[in-house]
Amino acid sequence: MGRSRLELHAQLTDITPKVYYQPPNGLRMEYPCIVYNKSDVLTLHAGNDKYRNTTRYTVTVIDRDPDSSIPESVLDLPLCSYDRRFAADNLNHDVFTLYF
């Protein structure tokens, strides 16, 4: 079984103090920050039995600084891969896929 979301939250908070899980519309976020949400569950089977579920998260680093070091720190997490980058509202967004 995968580790808890709160463990992931603590690890992300070690990278930057502003971390939001599934923030509601209209929430005024402070930058730089990390926003993450659950996107899937990978289930592994052996024989006819399920033996492990691992949660997949989409993790987005949002920062005004286009050269921020925060994305590199997120990418250093185990089972993390870079997905894409885009800019919106004068903010840089780096998106990752993370299994935890």
Percent pLDDT > 70 in the chain is 98
Both tokens of 94, joined, read 């780096």
CATH numbers and ranges of domains, the chain: 5-99 (3.30.2000.30)
Q: Where are the alpha helices (DSSP H) in 1-100?
A: 5-15, 70-75
**Tens-digit pLDDT profile for residues 33-75:** 999 999 999 888 888 888 888 999 999 999 999 999 999 999 9
Residue 45's identity, in one-letter code, is H
Dihedral of CA 1/50/59/97: which sign?
Answer: positive
Nearest Cα to Cα of residue 31 among 80, 70, 84, 82: 70
The DSSP bridge partners found for residue 43 are 53
Percent pLDDT > 90 in the chain is 82
Residue for token digits 């680093």?
61
On the question of pLDDT at 1 being above 60, the answer is no
Alpha-carbon span 2 to 66, nearest angstrom: 33
